């Protein structure tokens, strides 16, 4: 994903968000903590959630400069995303993120767990600074649902009977809600009508679903280098993602039962066997099709907004997300 192209008209404001994140992470007198936070700042993510927050605001307030409270919320959303990733890597036993060892791999879980909570607290502080109760209420609900999604995924590990409905609900909770909230918060802070704010929230939801489905496909067919994390990680943890759900659906019963037993055994060698089977099937194409269905839905929600350069860019972002399916 070409992040420069992704930032478009909000690139300069994203620099303000980055500066605020850096300020938060470097304002500590603990040398060791400063070292770890500097390590995190040295390998940043794509900043998708703050970008969506800024874009949502500028779609609805096209000619206004982006105020500090929007920058604070955008930074808060990114810091809570960073916190969720540090904890997610513990939960998933993931050793690499952003092409470098994860926090728990380098400094142990004893550090990764409180560091995640610490980042949540920095996020809370910025939400308080933005002083908008509606946004606070929405973000606190979002964190609750995100945690439910992460736990739900753990509870479903090794369950080879997971169905599409439950899989999609996990995605909605662990990923899509934060995308929706990023857009919704930007919209709320612009003083938008309920209808406009809802249109952006729904567009964010669709983008989040699209993004996680493409991530689940890339976890099967992507490369470690482009992803910056290890391919096959979800599967090794007994997580049945969309490509495998689609594969199971098209297998004859005897083969399906055999594969279900293999999935439940969580044997690492099973992954390469299933992968060959998967590539010979229509499961990847079916998964991409399901993901692509969210593209039009996202665009339909955006089409209800008035024209503006930011809206055009938002539509272009949807297409950039779509391009992830072509990797
Ligand atoms: C990673 O999200 C977690 C998922 C929802 C798949 P991102 O891909 O947005 O994380 P960054 O860019 O590394 O921060
Ligand atoms: C991450 O989900 C979602 C959250 C952090 C809430 P995954 O576990 O599927 O994402 P990656 O592959 O580690 O980025
Ligand atoms: Mg993970
Ligand atoms: Mg996970």
Model confidence at 284, pLDDT cuts 50, 70, 90, reads very high
Atom of ligand 1 nearest to the CA of 208: 5
Say yes or no to pLDDT of 327 above 70: no
Any idea which of 31-45, 77-91, 273-287, 305-319 has the lowest mean pLDDT? Answer: 273-287
Q: Pocket residues for ligand 1 (CB within 6 Å)? A: 45-46, 48, 98, 175, 212, 215
Say yes or no to pLDDT of 37 above 70: yes
pLDDT for 176 equals 98
Give percent of the chain with pLDDT exceeding 90.
80
Nearest bound ligand to the CA of residue 212: 1
pLDDT for 234 equals 82
Say yes or no to pLDDT of 138 above 70: yes
Any idea which of 203-217, 236-250, 251-265 has the lowest mean pLDDT? Answer: 251-265
Model confidence at 265, pLDDT cuts 50, 70, 90, reads confident
pLDDT for 225 equals 82
pLDDT for 236 equals 82
| pLDDT tens digits, 225-257 | 888 888 888 888 888 999 999 999 999 999 899
| pLDDT tens digits, 77-115 | 999 999 999 999 999 999 999 999 999 999 999 999 999
Mutate to test the pocket of ligand 1, among 21, 75, 175, 317 (most ligand atoms within 8 A of CB): 175
pLDDT for 106 equals 98
What SS3 string covers the chain?
CCHHHHHHHHHHHHHHHHHHHHHHHHCCCCHHHHHHHHHHHHCCCCCHHHHHHHHHHHHHCCCCCCCHHHHHHHHHHHHHHHHHHHHHHHHCCCCEECCEECHHHHHCHHHHHHHHHHHHHHHHHHHHHHCCHHHHHHHHHHHHHHHHHHHHHHHCCCCCCCCHHHHHHHHHHHHHHHHHHHHHHHHHHCCCCHHHHHHHHHHHHHHHHHHHHHHHHHHHHCCHHHHCCCCCHHHHCCCCCHHHHHHHHHCCHHHHHHHHHHHHHCCHHHHHHHHHHHHCCCHHHHHHHHHHHHHHHHHHHHHCCCCCHHHHHHHHHHHHHHHHHHC
From 243, 238, 199, select the one nearest 220 (Cα to Cα): 243
What is the Cα–Cα distance from 182 to 255, expressed in whole angstroms? 43
Mutate to test the pocket of ligand 1, among 18, 48, 205 (most ligand atoms within 8 A of CB): 48
61: its two tokens: 């307030």
Atom of ligand 1 nearest to the CA of 82: 14
Any idea which of 147-151, 212-216, 275-279, 290-294 has the lowest mean pLDDT? Answer: 275-279
Bigger pLDDT: 272 or 123?
A: 123
pLDDT for 174 equals 98
Say yes or no to pLDDT of 20 above 60: yes
State pTM to two decimals. 0.96
Atom of ligand 2 nearest to the CA of 94: 13
Mutate to test the pocket of ligand 2, among 48, 88, 324 (most ligand atoms within 8 A of CB): 88
235: its two tokens: 């599967």
Q: Name which residue sits closest to atom 11 of ligand 1, judged by CA.
A: 45
Q: Pocket residues for ligand 2 (CB within 6 Å)? A: 84-85, 88, 92, 94, 146, 150, 174-175, 215, 219, 229, 234
Residues 6+ apart with CB under 8 A from 24: 75, 79, 122, 125, 126
pLDDT for 279 equals 87
Spell out which residues have Cβ within 5 A of ligand 3, the ion: 88, 92
Atom of ligand 1 nearest to the CA of 84: 3
Atom of ligand 2 nearest to the CA of 91: 8
From 220, 239, 224, 237, select the one nearest 283 (Cα to Cα): 220
- Contacts of 84-88 with C-beta under 8 Å, sequence gap 24+, read 84/116, 84/146, 84/150, 84/178, 85/45, 86/112, 86/115, 86/116, 86/119, 87/112, 87/113, 87/116, 87/150, 88/150
Ligand 1 center to residue 268 CA distance, Å? 24
pLDDT for 264 equals 81
Model confidence at 307, pLDDT cuts 50, 70, 90, reads very high
């Amino acid at each position: 994903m070409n992040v420069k192209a992704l930032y478009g008209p909000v690139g300069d404001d994203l620099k303000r968000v980055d500066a605020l994140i850096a300020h938060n992470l470097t304002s500590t007198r603990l040398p060791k903590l400063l070292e770890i936070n500097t390590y995190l700042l040295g390998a940043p993510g794509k900043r998708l959630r703050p970008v969506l927050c800024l874009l949502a605001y500028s779609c609805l307030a096209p000619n206004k400069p982006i105020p500090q409270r929007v920058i604070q919320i955008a930074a808060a959303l990114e810091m809570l995303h960073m916190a969720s990733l540090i904890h997610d890597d513990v939960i998933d036993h993931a050793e690499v993120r952003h092409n470098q060892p994860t926090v728990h791999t380098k400094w142990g879980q004893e550090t990764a767990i409180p560091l995640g909570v610490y980042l949540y607290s920095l996020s809370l502080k910025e939400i308080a600074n933005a002083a908008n109760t509606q946004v606070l209420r929405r973000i606190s609900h979002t964190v609750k649902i995100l945690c439910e999604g992460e736990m739900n995924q753990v509870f479903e590990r090794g369950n080879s009977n997971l169905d599409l409905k439950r899989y999609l609900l996990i995605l909605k909770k662990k990923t899509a809600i934060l995308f929706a909230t990023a857009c919704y918060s930007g919209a709320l802070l612009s003083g938008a009508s309920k209808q406009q704010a809802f249109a952006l929230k729904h567009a964010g939801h669709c983008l989040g679903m699209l993004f996680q489905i493409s991530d689940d496909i890339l976890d099967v067919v992507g490369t470690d280098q482009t992803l910056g994390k290890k391919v096959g990680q979800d599967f090794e943890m007994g997580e049945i993602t969309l490509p495998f759900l689609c594969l199971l659906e098209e297998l004859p019963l005897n083969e399906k039962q055999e594969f279900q037993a293999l999935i439940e055994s969580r044997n690492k060698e099973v992954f390469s066997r299933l992968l060959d089977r998967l590539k010979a099937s229509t499961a990847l194409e079916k998964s991409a099709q399901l993901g692509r269905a969210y593209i039009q839905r996202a665009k339909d929600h955006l089409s209800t907004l008035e024209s503006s350069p930011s809206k055009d860019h938002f539509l272009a972002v949807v297409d950039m997300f779509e391009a992830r399916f072509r990797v």
